Amino acid sequence: MEKPKIVVSSSPHIHEGSRTSSIMWNVSLALTPSALWGVYVFGFRALAILLISIASSLLVEFLLQRISHESTLSDGSAFLTGLLIGMNMPADAAFVVPIIASAFAIFVVKWTFGGLGANWINPALAGRVFVFFSFTGLMNTYRMPRTLAGVDTVGSASILTEIKLAVGSGTVQGLQSTEILEQSSYGHTQFAQSLSNWFTALFNRGPSPYTIDAFFGNVAGCIGEVSAFLLLLGGVYLLIKKIITWHIPVSFIATFSLLAWTFGGFRNGLGLFQGDFVLQIFSGGMILGAVFMATDMVTSPVTKKGMVIFGIGIGFFTFLLRYFGSLPESISLAIILMNIFVPTIDRYITPKRFGEVVKEAQS
C-alpha cells in the first residue's frame, strides 16, 4: 500500500495565517477610497494617470522577474508601488511622468538593491522625488478639484504653494494663514464656509473654511493626497487589521504640530505659539505620508521605540523643509532623509532582553 504524504517540518506547526501579499493588498485597499475621491474631483485624467502608473509598475516588475526567474507579481508590492506613485501625481502630469517614476522605483530602487525587502528607501517615494526634480514645473501644477471649480479662484496652486509664495513676497507680515489665503482670494467651498460658521457659532471659534476643505479634499493637490479624511479612514482600517501601529504616524504628526505651532508663526512676523498647524497637517501629502509612506515596513525601524524616533525625525525635517525650505511640499524628502537613518536606528535601538536586568526580588 502506498504511504500517504506526510510533512515533517520544524515547529511551530501552526501559523496565524498572515502573508506578505495580504499586507500589500490590504494597504492598496486602504488607499482606494482616497484614490477614488481623486478620480471624482479631478476627472478621468486622474484615473488615466493612476492606471498608467499601476500598469507600468507591474510591467517593469514582470520584465525584471523574467531576468531573475522569480514570481513576485502576485505579492502585491508592485501594484502598491504603482498605486502610490499614481496618487502622488498631479492629474495633469504628462503620461510619461508616471511611467518614468514607476520604472525608476521598481528597477533602480527596488530591484537593483535585491527586490522586495532589500530596498532602503520606499520605491514609490523615490520614484516621486525623482520625477519631482526632473519635471519641477509640471509636478507643481495642480488642477482645481471639481468641487471648487465653480468658485472664483486665483489659479491652481496648492494651499501650501500659495502661502509659501505670499510669505516669500514679504507682504503678509503679521497675518495668519487664513488671512493670507483670504487676501489672495483663494477659493473655498460653500459647504466649508457653512461648517466653519456652524463651529464658530457653537464653540466661539472654529476651523477656517480652508482647513475644512483641506480635511475633506476640496483643494488642489496630487490625485491621492487631497482627502485627509478618507486617508485617515484607510489608516484606521490598517490599524484595526494590525498592519500598521500608531507609533510612526502619531510621533510624526505630533512632532510636526508642536514645532509648527510653536515656531510656525515666525516666518510671517507672528510670535511664539502662533503657527496654524492644523491647516498644515491636512494640506499637502502629510496624511498620505504619515499613514502610508512612513509606515512602509521595509524602510522603517523594526522596534516600537525605533519607530517613535523615526517619526520624530520625519516631523522635525518636515517642519524645517516646509517652513524654511524653498519648496512648499517636503514630506517625501523628510521621509527619505529618515530612511537613511533606519539602519542606524535599528542597530542601536534594540529591544530590552528578558532577564537582562535583574530586578530585586520583592516578597
Partner 1 sequence: MQKIPTFRKGGIHPDDKKVLSNRQAIERLPVPAELIIPLSQHIGAPALPLKQKGDRVEAGEKIGQGASFISADIHSPVNGTVTALNKVTLANSVVSDAFVITPDTENPMGIWEERPYEAFSAAELQKIVKDLGIVGAGGATFPTHIKLTVPRGKTVDALVVNGVECEPYLTADHRLMLEHSEMVVRGVMLVARMTNPKKIIIGVENNKKDAIVALRKVIAEHDFPIVVTPLKVKYPQGDEKQLLKATIKREIPSGKLPLDVGAVVLNVATAFAIYEAVAYNKPLIERIVTVSGEAIATKRNLRVLIGTKVADLLAYAGLAEEAETYIAGGPMMGFAFYDDQTPIIKGTSGILAFTEEAHKQAPVSPCISCGRCIAACPMGLQPTKLYRLIDHRQYSEAMATNLMDCKECGCCAFVCPAHLPLVHAMKLGKRLGRK
Residues that bind partner 1 (CB under 8 A): 4-23, 75, 115-118, 297-304, 307, 350-359, 361-363
End-to-end CA distance of the chain: 63
Sign, Cα dihedral of 315, 316, 317, 318 = positive
**Cβ nearer to partner 1, comparing 239 with 278:** 239
Query: In the complex, what is the shortest distance from the CB of residue 339 to partner 1, in angstroms, rounded to a whole number?
Result: 12
Distance, in Å, from the CA atom of 16 to the CA atom of 2, rounded to the nearest integer, reads 33
Residue owning grid cell 508601488: 81
Lookup result for grid cell 479624511 = 229
Cell of 306: 525605533
Any residues with CB less than 8 A from the CB of 49 and at least 6 apart, and which?
86, 89, 91, 93, 95, 98, 223
Measured from the CB of residue 302, what is the shortest distance to partner 1 in angstroms? 4
**Residue found under cell 496624511:** 287
* C-beta closer to partner 1: residue 63 or 118: 118
Question: What is residue 9's DSSP assignment?
Answer: -
In the bound state with partner 1, the residue whose beta carbon lies nearer, of 191 and 341, is 341
How many angstroms separate the CA atoms of 291 and 274, rounded?
26
The nearer residue to partner 1, 240 or 357, going by C-beta atoms, is 357
Give the separation between CA 320 and CA 334, rounded to whole angstroms: 9
Smallest distance from partner 1 to CB 70, Å? 10
- The nearest distance, CB 306 to partner 1, in angstroms, is 8
Cis peptide before 12 (omega within 30 of 0): yes
CB of 86 to partner 1, least distance (A): 22
Residue holding cell 510624526?
Answer: 252
**What gap in Å lies between CA 130 and CA 181, rounded to an integer?**
30
Q: How far apart are CA 247 and CA 254, in angstroms?
A: 11
Minimal distance, residue 50 CB to partner 1, in Å: 24
CB of 251 to partner 1, least distance (A): 15
